[in-house]
Amino acid sequence: MARTFTIPPFYRSDAISRVKKSRQNLDQRKKDRSPSLIDIGPVIFKIARHFGFCFGVENAIEIAYRAIDENPDKRVFLLSEMIHNPHVNGDLRSRGVRFLLGTDGRQLIPFEELKPEDVVIVPAFGTTVELFDKLESLGVHPRKYNTTCPFVEKVWRRAADLGEQGYTVVIHGKHKHEETRATFSHARLHSPSIVIRDLTEASVLVDFIEGKLPLRDFHARFEGRFSKDFDAEKHLQRIGVVNQTTMLASETQEISESLRAAMVRRYGDGNIAHHFADTRDTLCYATSENQSATFGLIQSGGDLALVVGGYNSSNTSHLVELCSKHCPTYYVQDADEILSTTEIRHLNLESGEVKHTSSWLPQKSSPLEILITAGASCPDALVDDVLYRVSELFGAEQKLRDSLMSYAENGVVIGG
Residues marked active site are found at: 179
Cα gap 101→81, rounded to integer Å: 8
Rg (CA), the chain: 23
Contact 316, 62 (CB under 8 A): no
d(CA 30, CA 15): 20
Q: How far apart are CA 20 and CA 372, in angstroms?
A: 13
Closest of 332, 322, 331, 330 to residue 304, by C-alpha: 330
Among the listed residues 389, 387, 411, the one whose alpha carbon sits nearest the alpha carbon of residue 44: 387
d(CA 335, CA 372): 12
Rounded CA-CA distance 416/414 in Å is 6
Contact 236, 168 (CB under 8 A): yes
Handedness of CA 262, 263, 264, 265 (dihedral sign): positive
H-helix or E-strand spanning residue 18: helix 15-26
Helix (H) / strand (E) element for 44: namely: strand 43-47
CB–CB of 259/202 below 8 Å? yes
Strands (E), 178-234: 193-196
Q: For residue 326, give the 3-state DSSP assignment.
A: coil
